Amino acid sequence: MSLQNDLTQKVIEAVKQLYQVELPAVEFQPTRKDFEGDITVVVFPMLRHVKGNPVQIGTKIGEYLVEHVDEVSKCNVVQGFLNIVIEDGYYLNFFNNIFDQEDFGYVKTQSDDAVMVEYSSPNTNKPLHLGHIRNNLLGYSVAEILKASGKKVYKTQIINDRGIHICKSMLAWQKFGEGETPESSGLKGDHLVGKYYVAFDKAYKEQIAELVDAGTPKEKAEKEASILLEAQEMLRKWEAGDDEVVSLWKKMNGWVYDGFDTTYKNLGVDFDTLYYESDTYLLGRDVVKDGLERGVFFKKEDGSVWIDLTEDGLDEKIVLRSDGTAVYMTQDIGTAIQRVTDHPDINGMVYTVGNEQDYHFKVLFLILKKLGYSWAEQLYHLSYGMVDLPSGKMKSREGTVVDADDLIKNMEDTAESISQELGKLDGYSEEEKKQLYRTIGLGALKYYILKVDPKKRILFNPEESVDFQGNTGPFIQYTYARIQSILRKADNVRSSAVETSLDLHEKEKELLKQIQLFPETVQLAAENFSPALIANYTYDLVKEFNSFYQQVSILGETDGHKKNFRVQLSQKVGEVIQSAFRLLGIDVPERM
């Protein structure tokens, strides 16, 4: 039973006793810092049911609470706000109850329903860039948050390993590659393939320019450039299962996967199952045919199949071409169904995809609902804004991208130079230092991206490096390291339970209140698919701790009971920081 539930009952009881009125609900909020109190009852909404002066009503209820509720030590009323002061003992009891709780804040019991979280899903013709980083961090973090909230989670990605874009890289490699491999050149596989994707584009543009010079209209030239025709021919061969093309495709995709694996490992993200578009691109057509018979879809004169969504405020959408081949939507319908077939416990999916596809997913979800799948009610498009540069959009073909691997390296380097300036790492081996720079650099990057609302677009300026001070990952990591330093120096941390008759320092009480919020924050973050809530919660906790740390002596405290409590409190704050950051995929260091 939470304190708030308890108080709700008591307030209702009080109003019944005092005014013979049954309140439907009671509104609470944390007390503002400028007033004395821990929790506040808002009296205004009661005026609908109880006639009178809010100050008087508040005062009466306050008096009742002080008399009838053990945890309430005193009350005061300001305007229509009844501020309630809670006994220190209540918080100390709470602390003793959760102190030994491992993974405090996480829900351990797993529900039977699983949710599949899709994220990353790159094309295999170019390396990952900053946009993918945002996608990966968001998807991974939401998956972890859902797990912590008690859901069973499958992490997945669909790899776009098929189509004309792959053929472009393959063709350019054949033409200009001279047998170059990741081994021969030392280039990471995805970067090597990406290099040929760019090479294709360059050759293609040159051909267009030549044709235009020779008098061909630009539009025509774009369609007739010989290198493009060759790529299209290659795609046809691939679809026909041509041995040579398929084996080249396998070889180059292998290079890309190796490269991606390295980047994923560096980023600290992982997947439970993978889907390849080359396996799934034919899915969905049967479903469409079936849906056509059931009247969900309709056929136009030319044979193409559509769905009419005008009643839902959308328009008509094609689901099968006139020649019977699939469109993107067909595939997505088929893939969604396939996933549930593969994992029958799925009752919900999260798609981490940029907001330019908002409309697509709205339509997809609606179609799946109309097809009658029960799990279709539990689909969520985790939509996020683009990451733009000051120069505008990132474009792989034009080379205006912030490469994921470069950026990670960059962050590590910054962490290194700051650490060296501060020079606190005596006794660390080179290997340990390297590990630490990585932890801090990635912490800065991940926190920077995850702390903002996914819907907002991010303007990333590579010239101004990501901050390491203030509301940042390293700030929080630093606080964690500070706590570990205290714990190393303290002996017998767990010597005994905390003495509940202690008088709490204001800062201690604030910390306990903040710790108490962690479990509900995890739930809220899960409900809203929002890592930002976790990030902001952690920041508040850490700010509170640093303030406490500055004002109150922990190891220097002479009263044994107080010292015992403060050490344990510090430890618990450290644990919560670690738990919260785990949900963001950020590591915490022992020293820094």
Partner RNA sequence: GGUCGCGUAGCUCAGCUGGAUAGAGCAUCUGCCUUCUAAGCAGACGGUCGAAGGUUCGAAUCCUUCCGCGAUCACCA
Cross-strand bridge partners of residue 84: 39, 75
Of the residues 24, 215, 313, 344, which one makes contact with RNA according to CB under 7 A: 313
| 187 or 486: CB nearest RNA | 486
Give me the least distance between CB of 181 and RNA, in Å please: 27
Of the residues 101, 226, 322, 495, which one makes contact with RNA according to CB under 7 A: 322
Q: By CB under 7 A, what part of segment 181-210 binds RNA?
A: none
| 118 or 177: CB nearest RNA | 118
Contact 288, 333 (CB under 8 A): yes
Contact 66, 74 (CB under 8 A): yes
User: Within 13 Å of residue 111, how many CA atoms lie on the same side as its CB?
Assistant: 15
* Choices 61-69, 107-115, 133-141, 413-421; region in contact with RNA by CB under 7 A: 413-421
Strand, helix or coil for residue 380: strand
Write the DSSP string, 204-229: HHHHHHHHHHTT--HHHHHHH-HHHH
| 318 or 497: CB nearest RNA | 318
Distance, C-alpha 418 to centroid of its chain: 27
| 115 or 326: CB nearest RNA | 326
Q: By CB under 7 A, what part of segment 98-137 binds RNA?
A: none
Q: Cα(432)–Cα(409) distance, rounded to whole angstroms?
A: 17
| 481 or 498: CB nearest RNA | 481
Give me the least distance between CB of 307 and RNA, in Å please: 12
Q: Could you tell me the maximum CA-CA distance found in the chain, to the nearest angstrom?
A: 96
Of the residues 5, 20, 34, 213, which one makes contact with RNA according to CB under 7 A: 34
Give me the least distance between CB of 178 and RNA, in Å please: 29
Q: By CB under 7 A, what part of segment 62-81 binds RNA?
A: 78-81
Give me the least distance between CB of 63 and RNA, in Å please: 17
| 206 or 459: CB nearest RNA | 459
Contact 178, 206 (CB under 8 A): no
| 111 or 551: CB nearest RNA | 551
Residue closest to 25 by CA, chosen among 9, 47, 3: 9
- The 436-475 site mask, x for binding RNA (CB under 7 A), equals ----x----------xxx-xxxxx-------xxxxxx-xx
Of the residues 356, 398, 503, 506, which one makes contact with RNA according to CB under 7 A: 356
Give me the least distance between CB of 415 and RNA, in Å please: 6
**Tokens 């991606």 sit at which residue?**
260
Give me the least distance between CB of 536 and RNA, in Å please: 4
Give me the least distance between CB of 240 and RNA, in Å please: 17
* Choices 38-46, 245-253, 291-299, 402-410; region in contact with RNA by CB under 7 A: 38-46
Written as one letter, the residue type at 205 is K
Written as one letter, the residue type at 51 is K
Residue closest to 158 by CA, chosen among 344, 299, 353: 353
Residue closest to 363 by CA, chosen among 315, 324, 412: 315
Give me the least distance between CB of 470 and RNA, in Å please: 2
Of the residues 371, 411, 481, 586, which one makes contact with RNA according to CB under 7 A: 481
Helix (H) / strand (E) containing 519: helix 518-528
User: Within 13 Å of residue 387, how many CA atoms lie on the same side as its CB?
Assistant: 21
User: Within 13 Å of residue 63, how many CA atoms lie on the same side as its CB?
Assistant: 7
* Choices 40-48, 60-68, 102-110, 229-237; region in contact with RNA by CB under 7 A: 40-48
Told to check if 59 binds RNA by CB under 7 A, we report: no
| 81 or 271: CB nearest RNA | 81
Give me the least distance between CB of 459 and RNA, in Å please: 6
| 9 or 551: CB nearest RNA | 551
- The 263-302 site mask, x for binding RNA (CB under 7 A), equals --------------x----------------------x-x
Contact 169, 252 (CB under 8 A): yes
Q: Cα(266)–Cα(128) distance, rounded to whole angstroms?
A: 12
Number of amino acids touching RNA (CB under 7 A)? 88
Residue closest to 445 by CA, chosen among 130, 169, 198: 130
Give me the least distance between CB of 129 and RNA, in Å please: 16
- The 530-569 site mask, x for binding RNA (CB under 7 A), equals --xx--x--x---x--xx-xxxxxxxx-------------
* Choices 9-17, 209-217, 319-327, 340-348; region in contact with RNA by CB under 7 A: 319-327
* Choices 176-184, 254-262, 291-299, 419-427; region in contact with RNA by CB under 7 A: 419-427
Q: By CB under 7 A, what part of segment 150-179 binds RNA?
A: 160, 163
CA of 472: how far to CAs of 4, 390, 393, 511, in Å?
A: 32, 22, 25, 20
Of the residues 132, 151, 339, 482, which one makes contact with RNA according to CB under 7 A: 482
Q: Cα(461)–Cα(466) distance, rounded to whole angstroms?
A: 9
Contact 542, 454 (CB under 8 A): no
**Tokens 């809530």 sit at which residue?**
533
Contact 486, 567 (CB under 8 A): yes
Quick one: tokens of 333?
Answer: 């319908």
Told to check if 386 binds RNA by CB under 7 A, we report: yes
Of the residues 484, 514, 538, 579, which one makes contact with RNA according to CB under 7 A: 484
Of the residues 59, 73, 93, 357, which one makes contact with RNA according to CB under 7 A: 357
CA-only gyration radius of the chain, Å? 30
Q: Cα(235)–Cα(213) distance, rounded to whole angstroms?
A: 29
Q: By CB under 7 A, what part of segment 203-242 binds RNA?
A: none
Quick one: tokens of 560?
Answer: 């044994």
